[in-house]
């Protein structure tokens, strides 16, 4: 008679214990993860606004043109390459509109002014942009020298 070969694989009891431990870990981790998400969305929205403002400043310098930013409502803003420097969108002038709610659904944006970047990189109509959601508030400020930063 031949001795039986050793069996390979996982036992049902081992698999059940593994699934139970995984369930316990998920029960502990998911609420913390969900609590963290609004904070990440707020930081992401602040970085998005900051990046767009710095891009507009760079383009103003590169194209020797004024770039204006208009805050349209509590979640949208428009960047305008104001070729004729009249402050309005005219045919042939490039514009870009960003809707923050598309990527950062609970973030509300407010600005105390509509900033303008000059061809020298300086800013006028200085603004503080406030972004808010359940996790708190972030502010993006623009200095007269054109520096954009998150506070």
- Encode pLDDT of 88-123 as tens digits: 888 889 999 999 999 999 999 999 999 999 999 999
Cα-based distances in Å from 31 to 23, 25, 26, 35, 53: 13, 11, 9, 6, 35
Pairing of strands 148-150, 76-82: unpaired
Domain edges within the chain: 12-150
What is the pLDDT at residue 87? Answer: 79
With beta carbons less than 8 A apart as the criterion, state whether 106 and 89 touch: no
Does domain 12-150 fall under CATH 3.55.40.10? My reply is yes
Look at residue 20 and tell me whether its pLDDT is greater than 80: yes
Look at residue 66 and tell me whether its pLDDT is greater than 70: yes
With beta carbons less than 8 A apart as the criterion, state whether 106 and 133 touch: yes
pTM: 0.79
Residue with structure tokens 């959601």? 133
The 10 Å Cβ neighbour count of residue 17 is 11
What is the pLDDT at residue 35? Answer: 81
What is the pLDDT at residue 83? Answer: 85
């Amino acid at each position: 008679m031949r001795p039986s070969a050793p069996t390979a694989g996982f036992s049902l009891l081992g698999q059940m214990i593994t699934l139970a431990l995984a369930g316990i870990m998920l029960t502990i981790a998911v609420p913390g993860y969900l609590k963290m998400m609004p904070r990440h969305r707020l930081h992401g929205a602040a970085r998005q606004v900051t990046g767009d403002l710095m891009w507009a400043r760079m383009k103003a310098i590169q194209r020797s043109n004024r770039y204006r930013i208009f805050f349209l409502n509590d979640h949208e803003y428009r960047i305008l390459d104001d070729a004729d420097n009249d402050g309005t969108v005219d045919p042939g002038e490039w514009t870009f509109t960003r809707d923050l709610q598309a990527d950062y659904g609970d973030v509300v944006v407010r600005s105390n002014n509509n900033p303008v970047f000059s061809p020298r990189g300086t800013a006028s109509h200085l603004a503080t942009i406030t972004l808010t959601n359940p996790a708190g508030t972030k502010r993006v400020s623009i200095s007269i020298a054109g520096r954009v930063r998150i506070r």
